[in-house]
């Protein structure tokens, strides 16, 4: 069964600190891996998209890594800000005959406090 599991479920950190969110997947055949940020009451917004051949991608203070051999990804947030408080969702694309099918994780809820 194709699954995407994220850890931790929730996390509280102090402003200015770094944090790392984890994503493990059991998806085959793999096409791509995405990280989205979802603010409360809003739709998800894409942070990064990585294909099989990419093992790291950055978007400002967000850096995603991908290890396709171990089927793990991480999202590292540097120098956190209050505005980083959100749910972070890992999404894996499965290559199918009709293109990609996306499998969504349930997200890590991050809260950044003063």
Partner 1 sequence: DAGITQSPRHKVTETGTPVTLRCHQTENHRYMYWYRQDPGHGLRLIHYSYGVKDTDKGEVSDGYSVSRSKTEDFLLTLESATSSQTSVYFCAISEAGQLMNTEAFFGQGTRLTVV
| x/- letters, 25..64, toward partner 1 (CB under 8 A) | ------xx--------xxxxxx--x-x-------------
Rounded to a whole number of angstroms, the minimum distance from the CB of residue 63 to partner 1 is 19
Rounded to a whole number of angstroms, the minimum distance from the CB of residue 71 to partner 1 is 16
Rounded to a whole number of angstroms, the minimum distance from the CB of residue 61 to partner 1 is 20
Q: Is 102 in the site for partner 1 (CB under 8 A)?
A: yes
Quickly list DSSP for 21-63.
EEEEEE-SSEEEEEEEEE-TTS--EEEEEEETT--EEEETTEE
Phi, psi at residue 84, to the nearest 5°?
Answer: -80, -10
Residue 45, sorted as left (phi over 0), alpha (psi -120 to 50) or beta, turns out to be beta
Q: List interacting residues with partner 1 (CB under 8 A).
A: 4, 31-32, 41-46, 49, 51, 89, 91, 93, 98-107
């Amino acid at each position: 069964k194709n699954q995407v599991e994220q850890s931790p479920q929730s996390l509280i950190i102090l402003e200015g600190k770094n944090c790392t969110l984890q994503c493990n997947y059991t998806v085959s055949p793999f096409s791509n891996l995405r990280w989205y940020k979802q603010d409360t009451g809003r739709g998800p917004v894409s942070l990064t998209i990585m294909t099989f051949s990419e093992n790291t991608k950055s978007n400002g203070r967000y850096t995603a890594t991908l290890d396709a051999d171990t089927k793990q990804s991480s999202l590292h947030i540097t120098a956190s800000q209050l505005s980083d408080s959100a749910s972070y969702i890992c999404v894996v694309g499965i290559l199918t005959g009709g293109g990609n099918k996306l499998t969504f994780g349930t997200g890590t809820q991050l809260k950044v406090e003063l």
